[in-house]
Structure 1
Amino acid sequence: MLSVAVAPWQRPPVILRNADVPHYAASTMKIAVLAAVHRSGLDPDREVPVVNAFPSAVGGSYAHSRADDGDPEPWELLGRTAPLGWLADRMVSHSSNLASSLCLAEVGPAAVAEVWRRAGASAASGSPRGIEDAPARAAGLTNHVTARDLLRLLTSLEPEVLARLEHNAHRVDLAAGLPPGTRLASKNGWITGVRHGAAVVHPHDAPPYALAVCYTGPLANGQDTGDPAARLLAGISSRVWACRHRLAPHVV
């Protein structure tokens, strides 16, 4: 299943394809966690104990696998502390799963749910559990998104939060379909069978626009690079870029 939503920035969508179909959220849920951290009022310099044990959304606890986390840096601090702001940055810049759960533990799931509510997201989207909360997953509790709701989420973010999304180091899907050096605030997510990307793109010669693409299917091999589904998203991003001057503020 391929879902696409495109909108001129802060305007209604102009391209919608299967935009209300729910997909497993993968790491796109970290956008909502980032917003919850920002809105919490917690000091970004607050030192957070770096642990690998977290309360499950259904009771009990869960832990992360270091081998399955693409960002080694937070793991180097295990047993020590790290600033909350630094953890929030690693969560989105290098998609750290450990940092994500540490941030979620600081703000709580209710704060993340409030981010989705304030964005005006549908009931199809939400982040009720940590990204590797295995007990909650086994109980049927999971994180879902739709392409349209990812646009709503991006639109609801404060400039400071969007600025953090400009530090995304994973530039193999939506970013790869843009000319080198194009400014964008983005977050992607991938596991086997899933590849998503959501971004605010700032062309140098046209107004900004928001793009969300969600793909669930056999092309997605779960690798951060060398993923055929990432090339699919790059191709869609390139086609949207090619019509950036023709994006109009009305729904089709």
Structure 2
Amino acid sequence: MTNKHKKITEAPSLYDRLEQMETMEIVSNINNEDKKVADAVGLVLPKIAQVVDQTAKRFEKGGRLFYIGAGTSGRLGILDASEIPPTFGMPHDRVIGLIAGGDRAIRKAVEFAEDDTQQAWKDLKEYDINDNDVLVGIAASGTTPYVLGGIEDAKAHGILTVGITNNPGSPLALQSDIPIEVNVGPEFLTGSTRMKSGTSQKMVLNMISTGVMIRIGRVKGNKMVNMQLSNTKLVDRGTRYLMEELGLDYEAAEKALKQYGSVKLAIDALK
């Protein structure tokens, strides 16, 4: 199924003669297009909430969250996954981002890597993916073979599949158990899906991972009480959380934080 007539991500920009625009006009027009993104994401919130709840349920049983994508989509999945350990103190093997072409594709495009329908499942099998896990395929076009192959194989093995795409009715949307179809309209630069499409993907991934972490108890009040104390800024932030929560002065709060290793453990021990 090519679905060519519906590829919004390839539709001509609403703007033309970009090279003749003043610089201020270029950035203003990009900004005007970007303003449409949050509204487009707003239309798919029920689907995102469904993914959060289904993933949290599996997480409680030791399940994991996998992201697969190629190019920008793959990089955004890896970005989101890599933020989970420092922000929420989770082991790095609970949210895993995979990109077509492997880790070297994070920095430099690997030619034709996204065209292999078998590779995603091979990559996922290295992690012993199973029906406790959730697989999120990310593809602006909704037609990336690497992602479609992975989703198809995962479904065949009883794994819950989610598709994040910017082409409603695309193969990825049709194949996924839970399709998240964010119609951001044509890009300012025709076909450049690292722009609005990529921004929408980042927003959706933020919601999924943050929502799951809140649901499984990694947040208290509005604070990152499980964050890793991996630099001075985070130690300072954690110390201030404890001052606020326990009424300690800075020195005592910092000492307690270092003694217990996390805001949550310090609060549990001292409250």
> Normalization by structure 1: what TM-score?
0.27
Higher-helix-fraction structure: 2
